[in-house]
Structure 1
Amino acid sequence: MNAQLDAALIHVDGTVVYELSEDERQAVHDLYARYEELRGEPDQTLNPDALNACRNALHDAYGQVQLTGRLSTMRARLLDAASECPFCGAAPATTLDHHLPKGDYRSLSINPRNLIPSCQPCNRAKGTLDPVAGEGIIHTYFETLPDQTFLVANPTYVDGALVISFSVDAEVAEPPLSGRLEFQIGRLKLNERLAKSINTFLFELKPGMELLREIPNWRQAIRTHLQKAGDSFDRSFGMNHWKAAVVRSLAACEPFLDDPWSYLDNTAVLAVEPDEEVLL
């Protein structure tokens, strides 16, 4: 941690941006330990008076976490640890989100445990959410999730038009966790934003289902294929990935199984949106 603080506050040529006293350095250590103890939940003790003089310097040091900054190695390590955005599971993690906003918790701006890999749309949708203890977005690093399926995909299928929304089974992910997960789905606009990803995902599954189209019992074969795909996605992505929820929901959707072709034969891969501006 001391090496990280030195890199953040001292230029490569030795110019000091802010010289931490020994008491301030210890206060940063204590602050990070307190953050771990609280599992990232907001608390007034995370703005200690002992760091009043240096908190703005620590806040501004976040600029060194960017691609060419002195803490860019830390940035790369955090992003490399995430194969995809942990919030949506549908896009690469290309930015770092402050779990507790750096504007409110300035001394935590470069704490690696407060920096969550995310995609730009999720980072933007979360925004400067006012943190409340026990509410809001769950902490990716600290939250313990049930090792059971709690993410539910709810399909509506009429005349070849497929709409899927997501909800949380409160009997598996019990309150208050279920409330936080439902809030997260809404805050990040996942029902709307995942629509394109679902379309593209099912288009990729289309060749496998078309191989079953010519066999006599193709309806049951497709149901079994989708169920097995859900089990495979559990193994590949962990429990409660949206892809597993989608295929399981379609395996139980009788209207879809009656006529999946009206949707699949007209599914087109939508163009990928251009990259958005990088969020700091």
Structure 2
Amino acid sequence: MWKMRLPPAGDLNAQLNAALVHINGTVVYELSPEERQSIHDLYARYDEFYGEPHHTLNPEALNACRNALHDAYGQVQVSGRLSTMRARLLDAAPECPFCGAAPATTLDHHLPKDDYRSLSINPRNLIPSCQPCNRAKGTLEPVAGEGIIHTYFQTLPEETFLVAQTSYADGTLVVSFSVDEQVAPPPLSERLTFQIGRLKLDDRLAKSINTFLFELKPGLELLRDIPDPREFIKNHLLKAGVSFDRSFGLNHWKAAVVRGLAACDSFLDDPWSYLDNEAVFMAELDEEVLL
């Protein structure tokens, strides 16, 4: 979640050839040597600016071919001539880096392809994502230093900044996410907070949190019959947070949730009102599937 390793740029000339020449040899657009060099320079500039919007990323030297490059994104689809690029990028994402709750099945253009047409098939401008996150990002206008962070280039603190604030009463759990400004000071905290809101993570993760905590129930169940299990439950949750840090990287929502619960006195006093109801819900859901 949040960050992915920068993908290799690959063989740019081979990518351009595959994008602009049909398998039977028919040329869609014949790049001049000058245009080809300008694309190389453009990709290097994109890296130099860490994928942030900049007027030089729409060079006039590519005016004649920018629409052909824009349309070439169709070749990145499943049956296209650049489908191996698509597969390579998606295979590198164990989950959607924006939400961490769904598989990455689409590629999102960090800088929109309609605004930055010459970058439409740049692999470092293509971010694996799930459909809901891709749609939520939508037509967001790119502004330098604002908006959704760049999954490949953004530098993040090597500390925990994602906080899950929990409200628990009568067996009902509500979780909302925020950013610790002591760890991620402005303007980074403002950008991360915007991302949480834009992608509606509080609402979209609610069901995932229910499923996730139900999966944790067997471990917690072992503590049910211990006299005064409160501290044991708290320690169990904190250890789970450390484990999730190792498994998913820092600031995954799962680690934030268990830490939030470990700090929630009302949940520690009686987690079973929630967990037992969740078990009933899952049983009813299974019965519906069987029917």
Q: TM-score range by the shorter chain?
A: over 0.9
- The answer to whether residue 213 in structure 2 is matched with residue 202 in structure 1 is yes
Q: Return the alpha-carbon distance in structure 1 between the equivalents of residues 169 and 230 of structure 2.
A: 17
2:196 corresponds, among 185, 190, 195, to 185
Matched residues in 2 for 1:216 and 1:256: separation? 16
1:165 paired with 2:171, answer no
Distance (whole Å) between structure 1 residues aligned to residue 70 and residue 202 of structure 2 = 34
Over the matched positions of the two proteins, sequence identity in percent amounts to 80
Per the alignment, residue 213 of structure 1 pairs with 224
Q: Runs of 5+ in structure 2 lacking a partner?
A: 1-11, 286-291
Quick one: distance in 2 between partners of 1:153 and 1:252? Answer: 10
- Give the length in aligned residue pairs: 272
The yes-or-no answer on 1:90 pairing with 2:90 is: no
Q: Which runs of 4+ in 1 moved over 2 A?
A: 268-271
Identify which of 260, 264, 273 aligns with 2:271: 260
Which residue in 1 is equivalent to 2:150? 139
Q: Paired residue for 1:99, among 110, 114, 118?
A: 110
Shift, 1:211, TM fit: 1.1
Residue 108 of structure 1 aligns to which amino acid in structure 2? L
* One-letter amino acid of the counterpart of residue 189, structure 1: K
The TM-score, its normalising length taken from structure 2, stands at 0.92
Cα distance in 2 for residues equivalent to 1:9 and 1:133: 31
Q: Which amino acid aligns with 1:173?
A: A
Match of 1:2 in 2: 13
* 1:84-111 Cα deviation digits (max 9, x unpaired): 1111111111100000000100000000
Distance in 2 separating the partners of 1:3 and 1:120: 29
Distance in 2, matches of 1:261 and 1:84, equals 30
Distance in 2 between the 1:79 and 1:90 partners? 15
Q: 1:4-59: CA deviations, max 9, x gaps?
A: 00000000000000000000000000100010000000011100000000000000
Instruction: Write the letter of the residue equivalent to 1:131.
Output: P
| Structure 1 segments unaligned to the other structure (5+ residues) | 272-280
Q: Quick one: which of 66, 87, 111 aligns to 1:76?
A: 87
Worse-matched range after superposition: 231-240 or 210-219: 210-219
**Matching of residues 13-32 of structure 1 within 5 Å:** 13-32=24-43
Structure 1 CA distance, aligned partners of 2:83 and 2:261?
Answer: 43
Cα distance in structure 1, aligned partners of 2:81 and 2:206: 39
Amino acid corresponding to residue 210 of structure 2 in structure 1: N
Is 2:256 the counterpart of 1:245? Answer: yes
Amino acid at match of 1:263: Y
CA RMSD, 1 decimal: 1.2
TM superposition shift of 1:217:
3.2
Determine the structure 1 residue equivalent to 2:51. Answer: 40
